[in-house]
Amino acid sequence: MKLRKAKSAMFDAELTQVDGKKLELHDEQSTSVLVKDFEQQPLRVDAVKKSERKRKPSAPFTTSSLQQDAARKLGFTSRKTMMLAQQLYEGIDLGRHGATGLITYMRTDSTRLSDLALSDAREFIQAQFGADYMPAKPNVYAAGKKAQDAHEAIRPTSTELTPDSIEKYLNKDQLKLYTLIWQRFTASQMTPAVYDTMSIMIKAGDRYTVRTAGSKLKFAGFTAVYAGADTTKKEKDVLLPDLAAGDVLNLEKTLPQQHFTEPPPRYNDASLVKTLEEKEIGRPSTYAPIIETIQARGYVQRIDKHFSRRSWVSSLSICWKNISRISSM
């Protein structure tokens, strides 16, 4: 629904409780009756809770998390991600600097960073963003329980090699992947982003409880690395007018919505790699080959970036059995 305080901007809110119980809409007729009754009720702010929330940066990339992020944000298959990462690792001709390896080894399950890398990142952050963006101590991230920790996390070989500074030497896809890696590593060593949040509970008559929430970025922290970038999902401000308990609100529009139970989404490269890791099938170096093999053998086919079972495959368990066998070869 859309609400408004006097002449302020409209904001979204959701009906959550009826007579103190969780809202349940069973059919169109009962929903229509409820909406008509709700629209006759006076709306008043019952409680306002303001607080501050911190959002911490993510750990630098492992093979698994790189493949997942590249699939979600760039639309790359696992095979394409690893092919491009191999090129960045082996070296790109940077003009007078010659062939230069741009990232560390890309087959790893560790989030560990070397002391040299941490020092490099902190010097860059201090110079480019200022002391407020650099934590007192380097950020350390825990590795998974099964991590072998043979190699450090995937990172740029030098933070000074910013995506902008080497853009002309990379092709379009190389630049996209390098930017993803560079931003993630640099952000991992910065301070949290800080948001001012507001949670509002609204009463509609005696029967109905409506809730809404808003947030506004107070301090950019690590999100400053992503400013102006399209490769990351940025948290947008959800602005609310200045509200206080007792304020009268106006109902501008109701938007009844019916939600149906949906089947689990089909696997894509990101979710399949995540599941392989969770089920401890294969190793970082085998995720991409596994996905290519199950397609080559006809167990699944890729349709619109999602995997679909072939019509003659009777069960997903058959596919998983073959994936387990392939990964052990």
pLDDT band at 148 (very low <50, low <70, confident <90, very high): confident
**Measured distance CA(106)–CA(127) in Å, rounded:** 28
CATH fold of 63-188 reads Topoisomerase I; domain 4 (1.10.290)
For 258-290, write each residue's pLDDT tens digit.
555 567 778 888 888 888 877 878 777 788 888
pLDDT of 65 strictly over 80? yes
Number of neighbours of residue 69 by Cβ within 10 angstroms: 22
| pLDDT score, position 313 | 44
**Interval 201-251: pLDDT, tens:** 999 999 999 999 999 899 999 999 997 654 444 566 788 888 899 999 999
**pLDDT value, residue 325:** 61
Question: 0.75 exceeded by the pTM?
Answer: yes
Per residue in 5-39, pLDDT (tens digit) is: 888 889 999 999 999 899 887 778 888 888 899 99
Give the list of residues 6+ apart from residue 311 with CB closer than 8 angstroms, or none. none
Q: Which runs of consecutive H residues, i.e. helices, occur in 129-210?
A: 163-166, 172-188
Contact 123, 298 (CB under 8 A): no
Q: What is the fold, at CATH topology level, of the domain defined by 2-51+195-253? A: Topoisomerase I; domain 3 (2.70.20)
Catalytic residues: 105
Q: What are the domain boundaries of the chain?
A: 2-51+195-253, 63-188, 269-327
Q: Per-residue pLDDT tens for 284-321? A: 778 888 888 888 887 788 877 788 776 544 445 556 55
